[in-house]
A and B are shown apart, each in its own frame.
Chain A
């Protein structure tokens, strides 16, 4: 069965420091991986995706993610955090054999302090 795990409920970072939000996955077949961000009382906004190709994927708002097949990980990164990056981040895997069902992790709350 496809699954995603986000081992950290919360990540705290100082503004200007690099940030990492962790995600590991378990899939049968090729992994199709996504990161979404959710601001309070809002829907999910797409950040980036890995389908195939380069292991380093660049996305919106300066975020990037590194796909590591041997470690089955897809960690979200940003070189310099902003206070406005504070939000809830979700990693998801696409269950392709079932037409495009997204399976989400539990989410990681990122808090960036000035």
Chain B
């Protein structure tokens, strides 16, 4: 049973560019959440997707957008990259019907470096 997978593992982009990160949830899960983890900090919630819709959003600008596909996989898009967007981006999957007792399963993350 594959866990949460993310691609790519590492990415280097230049300021102003756009980036797309991908996530496949754990088998049987229907909800995907994205988190940003800056160096030395705890993960910060970006947004959550369920039934192909953004269900809730953290305190991130509109440059951050996402999508969920019918197979529950998800993408995170960041436009007009800033140096401050450099971070580890974590995807977490869960089963919405199991709230609140579920735990979110995290992928290995994508390390984004903006130069």
A residues near B, CB below 8 A? 32, 34, 36, 41-46, 49, 51, 90, 92, 94, 96, 98-107
Asked whether A101 and B48 contact (CB < 8 A) given A42-B108, A43-B106, A45-B106, the answer is yes
Residue among A44, A105, A106 with most chain B CB within 10 A: A44
Counting contact residues on chain B (CB < 8 A from A), the size range is 20 to 34
* 11 A–B contacts, CB within 8 A, in A order: A42-B108, A43-B6, A44-B92, A45-B106, A51-B101, A90-B42, A96-B100, A99-B48, A99-B56, A100-B96, A101-B56
In the assembled complex, the Cα of A41 lies from the Cα of B88 at a distance in Å of 9
Q: Residues of A contacting B33 with CB < 8 Å?
A: 100-102
Q: Which residue of B lies closest to A49 (CB)?
A: B103
B43 to A44, Cβ gap below 8 A?
Answer: yes
Q: Residues of B contacting A106 with CB < 8 Å?
A: 41-42
Q: Residues of B contacting A107 with CB < 8 Å?
A: 40-42
